[in-house]
Amino acid sequence: MTDPPAHGPPFAGYQSEIFLLGMGGTTPEHPVSVDELERLVEEQIADPRATAYIFGGAGREDTMRANLAAFRRRRIVPRVLGNVADRDLTTTVLNTRMPAPVILAPIGAQSIVHDEGELATARAAAAVGLPMVLSTVASHSIEDVAAEAGGPKWFQLYWPRSREFASSLVGRAETAGYEAIVLTVDASLQGWKPRDLESAWMPQLAGVGLANYFSDPVFQALLDKPVDEDPQAAVGQFIVQYLNPELSWDDLEFLRAETELPILIKGILHPEDAVAAREREIDGVIVSNHGGRQIDGEVAALDALPAVADAVGDDLAVLLDSGVRSGADVVKALALGADAVLLGRPYLWGLALDGEPGVLAVLERRHTPGRVGDVVGWARVAGFDSVSVDLIYGSPTETLADWRASLETALEHGPDHVSAYSLIVEPGTALARRVATIEPAGPAVPRANNTLRAWASIPVRVTRA
């Protein structure tokens, strides 16, 4: 049981607070626009290596751009006269109750942008009652972060090579009061990040972000000397343990036996992987491409979300991570099947700008929960039970031509029947030659995309010619 947040709902009331303060000549201390926050932080960080680390992504950073573009393609369709005077953003995910469906994503080595790092982030999250996910590669230990502030917390696990060490980390989190384990599975190998490579710098190799390693008794037992006597050897053992390319689905049975806490797998993009997680008694999945930091050219997380939610959403908690920048983004993710979202870079930018107050400004007033409340109001629904796909227009692909090409390929190489959404098939086209019948397969679902104002309103079963 945690104490009530000091700065809780109604989050959307902070807009009124800004205007009321403005009557006395006071303007916001921190940027209101998340884009301005990003620009300001990128300009002001003194260490260019830290700038590269927190702003960079894999390869040409195409996946990072795709994450943002996926949200822009979806458009909210407001309903009217829905009596939204009282809007309830509260939700519960895997027994963790939160005042809005927003969770602070795990980000390692936060002390590279502010000395207090995760401690400041934890205090800000607790102040608004939002859950925080602590990274394995945090600058402060599991226990220190738990002691610093109340509020719900989850622990993110990078599974080390030593099972005993993995068990120790999970046990420490459970003992310290963390409420769930988030196993990251999309980082078994180091992503190719040109910005980091150009600066030839990784904070962990400088001993930053290793508090959970250096404080762990199992890790310490792997060393010939104490950490303070031979820190370089300790960093060397971190390198040995950090990434585990041998990790497989079979290992989940061990993790499931090690803890009674809910377990979520972070890094799921394919629905069959989500089904595999369900078969192994995992409690939730986080649809994520690691914020575009692992593989260049990956599918945008939001584009992958609907299929994963359709596959396991009735049985598992489904969360969305990667590319979330605003309350509108949160509503779009919820409409497409997410139970909640993880917010990453924006709160780190707030931390870099002004420590705890900067994080609090992002969480409390400026960008995410407050704007969720406003968007819910504008959409004319009273709460998240009312948010559904019929509030969103937008196809998962950039153009209708691309979508048709994908269906054509599926009909040419795939099964006899393909599930799709209704579309116009012009006589004489390549697609028409491959289609025998198109039959309704469910109730109408509004759809649209960039090249046609409205299309595809009925799920269909397409039979190959």
Cite the active site residues.
290
The answer for residues whose C-beta is within 8 angstroms of residue 314's C-beta and 6 or more apart is: none
As a whole number of angstroms, the distance between CA 360 and CA 11 comes to: 12
